[in-house]
Amino acid sequence: MPVAKNREVRTGKPNPVDIHVGSRVRLRRTLLGFSQEKLGEAVGLTFQQIQKYERGANRIGASRLFALSRVLDVPVSFFFEEMPSEISGKGGRGAAGLADRQQEEFSADPLAKRETLELVRAYYRIKEPTVRKRLFDLAKSLANVGES
């Protein structure tokens, strides 16, 4: 039986777009200091559902994405920003027969790592602007040490 041209082929793996959108939800939630439970309560979901969204295991519908954007105080477009070009053209709709081509492994955004988020939170907890600026300058100079 032929596969419809615009029909999505189910592979059992999360769609890379859903993974990216979920990682952006997690990024914003953690930057605001919300727990999964707190975010879930704000949009009428369980924390388990938020976990599934953040992993990309469940696709976020348009109305839910809109609700999340309001609670997280970002435009809906925020969830699609910084999407790698190799997945931005693959919205889950493709012609049949293209799946036999080798696909690149999806790598998580380094900005979504827990270490990065904790560093950003700690940075913004520094009350004195001059100390924050000096730390920022130090980090930049340390990052450039090997590039000289």
Report how many domains make up the chain.
Answer: 2
CA-to-CA distance for 99 and 103, rounded, in angstroms? 8
**Predicted confidence (pLDDT) per residue in 76-86, tens digit:** 998 998 888 87
40 within domain boundaries: yes
What CATH number has the domain bearing residue 64? 1.10.260.40
Give me the mean pLDDT over the 93-100 stretch.
49
Torsion of CA 127, 129, 130, 134, to 10 degrees: 90
pLDDT digits over 46-75, tens only? 999 999 999 999 999 999 999 999 999 999
Distances in whole angstroms, Cα of residue 82 to Cα of each of 31, 60, 78, 112 = 17, 18, 9, 11
The pLDDT of residue 143 is 85
1 domain-assigned = no
Is the residue at 95 inside a domain?
no
Range(s) of the domain holding residue 84: 11-90
Percent of the chain at pLDDT exceeding 70: 74
Residue 6 lies in a domain: no
86 within a domain of the structure (yes/no): yes
75 and 28 share one domain:
yes
Are residues 32 and 85 located together in one domain of the fold?
Answer: yes
Q: What is the pLDDT of residue 92?
A: 47
